[in-house]
Structure 1
Amino acid sequence: MQPQIPLTRDLVLIGGGHSHALVLRKWAMRPLPGVRLTLINPGPTAPYSGMLPGHIAGHYRQEELEIDLVRLARFAGARLIDGRAVALDPEAKTVTVEGHGAIEYDVASLDIGITTDLPQLRGFAEHALGAKPLDTYAARWQDFLRTAEASGEADPIAVIGGGVAGVELAMAMAHALRRVTEKARVTLIEAHDQLTGTGEETRQRILAALNENGVTLWTGAEIAEITKDGPRLRTGEIIPSAFTVGAAGALPQPWLQQTGLPLTDGFVNVGATLLVEGHDDLFAVGDCAHMTHAPRPKAGVYAVRAAPVLHDNLRAALTGQALRPFHPQKDYLKLISLGEKSALAEKYGRPWSGPWLWRWKDRIDRKFMLKFQDLPAMDPPAPPRVAALGVAEELGDGQPVCAGCGSKVGPGALSDVLAALPQAGRDDVLRGAGDDAATLDIGGVKQVLTTDHLRAFTEDPALMARITAIHALGDVWSMGAAPQAVLANVILPRMNDTLQRRTLAEIMRAAGEVFRDAGAEIVGGHSTLGSELTIGFTLTGLTGNPIQQSGGRPGDALILTRPLGSGTILAAEMQGKAKGRDVMRMLQVMAQPQAKAAEILRPAHAMTDVTGFGLAGHLMALCKASDTGAEIKLESLLFYDGALELAEAGIRSSLYDANLSHAPLINATGPRGILLHDPQTAGGLLAAVAPDKADALLAKLHENGIPAVRIGRMTEGAPMISCV
């Protein structure tokens, strides 16, 4: 057996720009043993800027121009930290992530792009928006288009910046508006006396294209402020606009000013090897970098061309080898969208235009995106040629075993073993195995005791710790208890002492925050090294009158506080089949505490948290304990985005078959019925409440931003569940 390679170095990629995306893809083909690779980015996707005007014009769907960083990180074996970098200390070798804390590195690289916000313009934040980030701009633009289409007319639009980006967006918006209304009023504002970024002949062709698209051009127009009515010029004149977009050139991310790094006009100075000047462990690429050896304009082509050199130099820096230089080309082909499916090209000052150029540009753009959409399948290890009977059946189709609650022992095996345990007959153990937590009598005070641990399903140890803590707290909250004390149990993959300290610090910082907010305190624990990251917590809680599973009554309304489908989405993500946006949205929900929901549902007759055995399994436990049946309204259930589509496509969590056999349902059809058996991690609270109190409780849950739904009711009769 090959020994597990210990992790010894942290490589941190800050930003999901084009260079870093290409590095991740290349890294996946030949990872460097001993390196833990981390990507930090605010959001699950990174837009390909070359297709942005086409999206605004209506030629591309948003997903067609977004690099799915969740899927790419999984492919590369990297951890993805969803957050915005806001500080970097090159001496301490840390990068601070908003909402996450400090991440330490041995080698790091910056590829954070630029900003199109104009904070120096009074009123910009209140009455305008930058063309980046794409999510905000695209969402606001779609809302604007829908309003224009519904009313048949559009309010005026203004684009600030007469460079290539500004003219492309102005024509793209004008083109999109002409498809929904006859009157499209778009104004392009440039402070200089003429358009910038191209040669004279190309500029004349752009002016003609602007005119054809009905775009009004203001040059020599210096803006004093942005008002609710539109940009006000220094002359006092206001250019009417209800939708003002900033695209005025390349502005550096402002937090770089506080790093102490060498800068030129706010951009990070790098030499020929892409190392930041004066630092042998920090690189910078893309628009955030200034190449002192070969200054170039801000353009994505240089980031793409720099990626192979960056990849090789990162490996060299991590292995003590020599670095190689990057020699950027002197000029590049500019391909400028003209609103409709037509484009203008320029190189060495010579322009070409026509629909054939759009088709060429489209092929180039789609070919680039295909690198990230069509990732090579990573085949599972081949099964042994000779093995004991039953091995082939257990291996099944070779898909990886799920993590989180999808990796739990099946409910039938667990309940059979627990039922066979001898009981000591202690008077202070009021209730043992069978409920969400054991109930103890400690000197007349009722205390609940529970334990839970999870195999990691995300490479981000802080996020994993947060979700695991909330998952473990579910047993305490569902019994109406106040969390008290916590023991932590952590298994780290094999790594050196430095990485052990870094990883444990991230885990305990995140878990400690969750438990402190819940009113509990971590009082100790245990740690060890193993083959993979596993985090667990043992908790106690105090309660005067615990809510048990046995209190349900016929007629009780059933309330569920969270969507279903996490097991299916996690299984799909491991197979590279889930959308990154869906995965990240789900993780964000899973990482939210449920203390408020538990407080509101304190009047429940019976309550449990929906975890590994799925909604069907945990509802069946309520039915058996309460000696009732249950009825579920399939159409009332909430599901995580993407879960229904994945279930219909045949994606199943590892625990699905065991859950299905343990809690069969009547009339559970389609993907909704399938997901009743889906194992949940940090799932919702399932409460049986008096029917006359259900509406008031739901209203209070909704007032507190909790997406709870009434999913059915408890019924008379034998423990069985039917769906309607």
Structure 2
Amino acid sequence: MDTSRLPLTRDLVLVGGGHTHALVLRKWGMKPLPGARLTVINPGPTAPYSGMLPGFVAGHYQRDELDIDLVRLARFAGARVVLGAAEHIDTAARLVHVPGRPPIAYDAASIDIGITSAMPDLPGFADHGIPAKPLGRFAARWAAFRDGDGPAHVAVIGGGVAGVELILAMAYALKSCGRLAQATLIDSDQALRAIGEKARQTLRRALVEQGVRLEENAAIERIEDGYITLQDGREILSDFTTGAAGARPYGWLADSGLDLNDGFIRVGETLQTSDPQVFATGDCAHMEFAPRPKAGVYAVRQAPVLYHNLRALMTGDPLRSYKPQKDYLKLISMGSREALGERFGTTLSSPLMWTWKDRIDQAFMEKFRDLPAMDAPDLPAEHTLDMEQALGDKPMCGGCGAKVGRDALLGTLAGISSTDRDDITPLPGDDAALLTTGNVKQVISTDHLRSFTNDPVLMTRIAAVHALGDIWAMGAEPQAATANLILPRMSPALQARTLAEIMDAASAVMQNAGAAIIGGHTSLGDELTIGFTVTGLCRRPAITLAGALPGDALILTKPLGSGVLMAAEMAGEAKGDWVAAALEQMSQPQGTAARILQDAHAMTDVTGFGLLGHLLGICEASRTGAELSAGKIPLMQGAAELADRGIRSTLFPSNQAALPELTTTGWQDLLFDPQTAGGLLAAVSPGQADELLVKLTAAGYPAALIGRITEISGKITLSA
């Protein structure tokens, strides 16, 4: 049985992308639970692996080697990704609050948000220090500092193992590039007091060898810009000050209603909190039944138990207990490619230990770099002819990549007889219709999108911006909208949750654009599809495809590449930060851009037909040609690389067939790439182009002057 067609009945929400949750997502992708809708909430598209941080700081690893790509991992798991930092969990209402979107409901939830090493009580640290956790922000700041110029002074606050690893790595990296002026490790007590004597002596010797100044029993008065003041009046130079002085829980957990221990969430043997519907794992959890220090090894070994228990909670099966080991092998980086290993009091340090640590770390990361390919279901033994050709060799794209090709659509529309109504103004190929209601000119358009992201809120925002594109392109003011929704089969409770999220997001976009949602229609189907019918009022003459003049400048307000990026994301080939950036650009409304371009001679929004297809529409309606400067056309992050690798949207061949005389290869094929919620393409007076670009840029649009209108009707050429 095809389990993907079974109704959804339970919401499982993973708050945070820590190591345990990452492993749960991987296991879930290999064996999903039918009926469960899985969501992961994380501040960004990646989750850094802390075990490799010292190696990155020392320069042994590149930045991207630390990152678990949560967007790609979630696609593998069939989960939706919500990019935002959770700020509250309401256990009574079973809601997780994330800024900028409606609350996310859950039937079962798990929290794996890690810890912070921020020092809010230390004067000056918030302004002049950078906590080592969360890791992502620290890694970015360190990379910029390490690659700078001139003598460098660095300091780490906290003389535990983490602090020693950091200062050794920082000193090694700066010595390697000849920049180290001073490296200082500061502790209010004795450094390395939590490990054995032999390991402590070895690491102290390493500090001396790397030229690290050790300040013990030193209380800090204040962090200043460029130096640290101690309570005894001494000053320590530091251009880069970080803190690794113990684990601190995130403050919002205090209002969760869950039982805490010094701010950490108390969990029992099943990893359940005081609320049995909520689990916690990793560094943010306190194992009341068997207290242990904060260490990644426990998070990793909690994953199989958490995976089982999350499923068991939703199926009614018995839960399992997690039994942590009493001790574990501690592998501590020593700056250079050397590490110290300690377990049960036995200590050994050597390059071999670093090789061992590197092998363990790489094996962990390889679990997420090399996700197993899941086989497509076999065709029935008996099927109609040409079934394989109709299916194609890849999944059908979502968004505009799933639409009907230009030739098929225009050919069909050409066969429809024109109306003889005097309140409808015929237009030369525009997507919206121009009506006369009383003495008012009104435009109306409708559009819908097949889902390409599992997040209904994000999908709604993009679909609303996409539908409004036709209104904005004609210079009209959005007036009213109706929603047309197809939800995947789900229980009444999930229907209500999903509809609430969709309508909240839709109302926000439409109201911001000046329109009101006045109703809509819903039905159930195989997959999420979101569309809107939108009207707009024309207080000035409508801007149509006709009207472009030879010599006009062509302005594009958004970069190209969404079709290729979404196709690559479906295939697990796109980086998560590329996808996140593309989704953000697709969500950007074009209302302000339309007002800036209100004097355009011709304008359209770039959507399913691609840039060249929509430019051809202007040229045909205006009886002109065009010349594009290919090198000036803005592209989305990662789009050119993916296009050069041969990745294409399913609509690409149809778009390319519209202009067979144009030969493109590699990244230039993006000119035919179908765009979802793409930018406006405007033909403007050449004397106004520069001023308009300045205004668009100031308004936050990555706009560019990409070419000009020429005289030869229908002829489009490319130049460098």
TM-score tier by shorter-chain length is over 0.9
Instruction: Give the alignment partner of residue 250 of structure 2, picking from 242, 250, 253.
Output: 253
- Counterpart of 2:172 in structure 1 is 175
Counterparts of 1:596 and 1:185 in 2: how far apart (Å)? 51
For residue 220 of structure 1, report the CA deviation from its aligned partner.
1.1
Moved more, 606-615 or 238-247: 238-247
Counterparts of 1:451 and 1:372 in 2: how far apart (Å)? 41
Residue 361 of structure 1 aligns with an amino acid whose one-letter code is K
> Match of 1:705, SS?
coil
Residue 244 of structure 1 aligns with an amino acid whose one-letter code is T
1:709 aligns with 2:704: yes
For residue 226 of structure 1, report the CA deviation from its aligned partner.
1.6
- Counterpart of 1:719 in structure 2 is 714
Residue 356 of structure 2 aligns with an amino acid whose one-letter code is W
- Counterpart of 2:211 in structure 1 is 214
- Counterpart of 2:556 in structure 1 is 560
> Match of 1:11, SS?
strand
> Match of 1:414, SS?
helix
Quick check: 1:184–1:214 contact (8 Å CA) kept in 2? no
Instruction: Give the alignment partner of residue 596 of structure 1, picking from 592, 596, 609.
Output: 592
Quick check: 1:428–1:441 contact (8 Å CA) kept in 2? yes
For residue 2 of structure 1, report the CA deviation from its aligned partner.
5.5
1:584 aligns with 2:542: no
Counterparts of 1:432 and 1:85 in 2: how far apart (Å)? 48
For residue 614 of structure 1, report the CA deviation from its aligned partner.
0.4
Distance of aligned partners of 1:182 and 1:30 in 2 relative to their CA distance in 1, 3 Å threshold: closer
Q: Please give the residue correspondences for 1:399-418 in structure 2 after superposition, counting only pairs within 5 Å.
A: 399-418=394-413
Counterparts of 1:26 and 1:723 in 2: how far apart (Å)? 48
- Counterpart of 1:69 in structure 2 is 70
For residue 433 of structure 1, report the CA deviation from its aligned partner.
7.4
1:531 aligns with 2:526: yes
Q: Please give the residue correspondences for 1:355-434 in structure 2 after superposition, counting only pairs within 5 Å.
A: 355-397=351-393, 399-431=394-426, 434=429
Distance of aligned partners of 1:604 and 1:340 in 2 relative to their CA distance in 1, 3 Å threshold: same
- Counterpart of 2:33 in structure 1 is 32
For residue 101 of structure 1, report the CA deviation from its aligned partner.
2.8
Measured against aligned partners, the alpha-carbon deviations of 1:213-242 in whole angstroms (never above 9, x if no partner) come to: 111111112222221132222223332111
Measured against aligned partners, the alpha-carbon deviations of 1:98-121 in whole angstroms (never above 9, x if no partner) come to: 222311100000101001111122
Relative to the length of structure 1, the TM-score reads: 0.97
For residue 379 of structure 1, report the CA deviation from its aligned partner.
1.9
Residue 445 of structure 2 aligns with an amino acid whose one-letter code is T
1:618 aligns with 2:614: yes
- Counterpart of 2:271 in structure 1 is 274
Quick check: 1:27–1:76 contact (8 Å CA) kept in 2? yes
1:608 aligns with 2:604: yes
Residue 192 of structure 1 aligns with an amino acid whose one-letter code is D
Counterparts of 2:99 and 2:121 in 1: how far apart (Å)? 23
Moved more, 103-112 or 213-222: 213-222
Structure 2, unaligned runs of 5 or more:
none
1:85 aligns with 2:82: no
1:234 aligns with 2:235: no
Counterparts of 1:362 and 1:606 in 2: how far apart (Å)? 59
Quick check: 1:106–1:281 contact (8 Å CA) kept in 2? yes
Measured against aligned partners, the alpha-carbon deviations of 1:349-376 in whole angstroms (never above 9, x if no partner) come to: 3211010011111110000111111111
For residue 699 of structure 1, report the CA deviation from its aligned partner.
1.0
- Counterpart of 2:137 in structure 1 is 136
Residue 50 of structure 1 aligns with an amino acid whose one-letter code is G
> Match of 1:156, SS?
strand
Q: CA RMSD in A?
A: 1.3
- Counterpart of 1:127 in structure 2 is 128
Instruction: Give the alignment partner of residue 321 of structure 1, picking from 314, 317, 320.
Output: 317
Distance of aligned partners of 1:101 and 1:218 in 2 relative to their CA distance in 1, 3 Å threshold: farther
Residue 166 of structure 1 aligns with an amino acid whose one-letter code is G
Instruction: Give the alignment partner of residue 339 of structure 2, picking from 322, 339, 343.
Output: 343
Quick check: 1:174–1:184 contact (8 Å CA) kept in 2? no
Instruction: Give the alignment partner of residue 652 of structure 2, picking from 653, 656, 669.
Output: 656
Distance of aligned partners of 1:197 and 1:561 in 2 relative to their CA distance in 1, 3 Å threshold: farther
Counterparts of 1:294 and 1:577 in 2: how far apart (Å)? 42
For residue 602 of structure 1, report the CA deviation from its aligned partner.
1.2
Instruction: Give the alignment partner of residue 473 of structure 2, picking from 446, 471, 478.
Output: 478
Quick check: 2:447–2:532 contact (8 Å CA) kept in 1? yes
For residue 321 of structure 1, report the CA deviation from its aligned partner.
1.6
For residue 496 of structure 1, report the CA deviation from its aligned partner.
0.5
For residue 136 of structure 1, report the CA deviation from its aligned partner.
2.1
Moved more, 115-124 or 188-197: 188-197
- Counterpart of 1:161 in structure 2 is 158
Quick check: 1:118–1:124 contact (8 Å CA) kept in 2? yes
Quick check: 2:115–2:134 contact (8 Å CA) kept in 1? no
Distance of aligned partners of 1:658 and 1:155 in 2 relative to their CA distance in 1, 3 Å threshold: same
Quick check: 2:646–2:666 contact (8 Å CA) kept in 1? no
Instruction: Give the alignment partner of residue 333 of structure 1, picking from 329, 336, 341.
Output: 329
> Match of 2:168, SS?
helix
For residue 75 of structure 1, report the CA deviation from its aligned partner.
0.5
Quick check: 2:428–2:546 contact (8 Å CA) kept in 1? no
Counterparts of 1:432 and 1:8 in 2: how far apart (Å)? 47
Counterparts of 1:690 and 1:588 in 2: how far apart (Å)? 30
- Counterpart of 1:302 in structure 2 is 298
Measured against aligned partners, the alpha-carbon deviations of 1:107-145 in whole angstroms (never above 9, x if no partner) come to: 000101001111122222211111123332222222212
Work out the percentage of aligned pairs sharing the same amino acid. Answer: 58
For residue 434 of structure 1, report the CA deviation from its aligned partner.
1.8
Measured against aligned partners, the alpha-carbon deviations of 1:484-509 in whole angstroms (never above 9, x if no partner) come to: 10100111000011000000111111
Residue 201 of structure 1 aligns with an amino acid whose one-letter code is K
1:684 aligns with 2:679: yes
> Match of 1:43, SS?
coil
> Match of 1:546, SS?
coil
Counterparts of 2:644 and 2:467 in 1: how far apart (Å)? 30
- Counterpart of 1:107 in structure 2 is 108
- Counterpart of 2:23 in structure 1 is 22
Relative to the length of structure 2, the TM-score reads: 0.98
> Match of 2:449, SS?
strand
Counterparts of 2:30 and 2:529 in 1: how far apart (Å)? 27
Counterparts of 1:604 and 1:215 in 2: how far apart (Å)? 64
Counterparts of 2:166 and 2:338 in 1: how far apart (Å)? 14
Measured against aligned partners, the alpha-carbon deviations of 1:283-342 in whole angstroms (never above 9, x if no partner) come to: 000000000000000000000011000111111100112111100001111111111111
- Deviation >4 Å, runs of 4+: none
Counterparts of 2:179 and 2:470 in 1: how far apart (Å)? 60
1:201 aligns with 2:198: yes
1:440 aligns with 2:424: no
Structure 1, unaligned runs of 5 or more:
none
Residue 65 of structure 2 aligns with an amino acid whose one-letter code is E
> Match of 1:249, SS?
coil
- Counterpart of 1:223 in structure 2 is 220
Counterparts of 1:586 and 1:694 in 2: how far apart (Å)? 26
> Match of 2:383, SS?
coil
Moved more, 164-173 or 180-189: 180-189
Quick check: 2:624–2:713 contact (8 Å CA) kept in 1? yes
1:354 aligns with 2:353: no
Counterparts of 1:227 and 1:384 in 2: how far apart (Å)? 71
Quick check: 1:164–1:196 contact (8 Å CA) kept in 2? no
Counterparts of 2:87 and 2:433 in 1: how far apart (Å)? 44
Counterparts of 1:687 and 1:388 in 2: how far apart (Å)? 46
